[in-house]
Chain A
Amino acid sequence: EAGVAQSPRYKIIEKRQSVAFWCNPISGHATLYWYQQILGQGPKLLIQFQNNGVVDDSQLPKDRFSAERLKGVDSTLKIQPAKLEDSAVYLCASSRLGDSNEQFFGPGTRLTVL
């Protein structure tokens, strides 16, 4: 079974620029998560989709971050404009609907904001 795919793997931008990340979850996984992991910390949930609907975006900085999951499959996460403190690894994960167990993570996108 193919894993969670993410691109790009690395991105370097200057502050105030925009950036977008893409995620393709495991086929058949209805739930998709975007996490932000700052160096030395655990992943923090930004947004969670169930199919193409948002079920939790309480920790998403909505003034600059946005995400969508059209057709309930692929997802994109955008930051506009980026700040220095957005430097982090952005992890996408997916899990089966109703399964409270395993999340499968993609390799992440490492973002550096200069």
Chain B
Amino acid sequence: RKEVEQDPGPFNVPEGATVAFNCTYSNSASQSFFWYRQDCRKEPKLLMSVYSSGNEDGRFTAQLNRASQYISLLIRDSKLSDSATYLCVVNMGKYNFNKFYFGSGTKLNVKP
């Protein structure tokens, strides 16, 4: 089993749609969680961290369910510019050391 698993998609949605991605992770002791965005042939960039209480940034909402070991990302009112691959990242390091595991990414295509 992979440490972090995501549905690769693609998710093809019209502009204005709401879309949700899930990600599961294997290590129940994982410290921290993130969603990164990666545009085609570009480097990953942090979209948002995922907190236990859930967090929202504009049209983006991230949730963490530790009991079920999954993370979700909800995008409301999708824009063409949201088309990208969304990477789920889990820090499974111990003590003061980070050890980041990436999912394979979920591809989103927002169409006019």
Interface residues of A (CB under 8 A from B): 31, 33, 35, 40-45, 48, 50, 55-56, 91, 95, 98, 100-103, 105-108
Q: A41-B104, A42-B87, A42-B104 are in contact. Are A103 and B99 (CB under 8 A)?
A: no
Select from chain B the residue with minimum beta-carbon distance to A55: B97
Residue numbers in A under 8 Å from B103 (CB-CB): 42
Q: Are B45 and A105 in contact (CB under 8 A)?
A: yes
CA separation between A100 and B42, bound complex, in Å? 23
Q: How many angstroms between the C-alpha atoms of A101 and B32 in the bound complex?
A: 8
Cα distance, A91 to B46, chains bound together (Å): 15
Question: Cβ of A91: which chain B residues have Cβ within 8 Å of it?
Answer: 43-44
B55: interface (CB < 8 Å): no
Q: Between A and B, how many residue pairs show CB distances below 8 Å? A: 51
- The docked-state distance in angstroms from the alpha carbon of A101 to that of B35 is 11
Interchain CB contact under 8 A, B99 and A100: no
B99 touches A45 (CB 8 A): yes
Chain B interface, number of residues (Cβ within 8 angstroms) = 24
A19 to B87, CA, bound (A): 28
Q: A91-B43, A101-B49 are in contact. Are A40 and B104 (CB under 8 A)?
A: yes
A42 pairs with B105, CB closer than 8 A: yes
Given A40-B104, A42-B87, do A107 and B43 touch, yes or no (CB 8 Å)?
A: yes
Chain A residue nearest to B87 (CB atoms) is: A42
Q: How far is the CB of A70 from chain B (nearest CB, A)?
A: 21
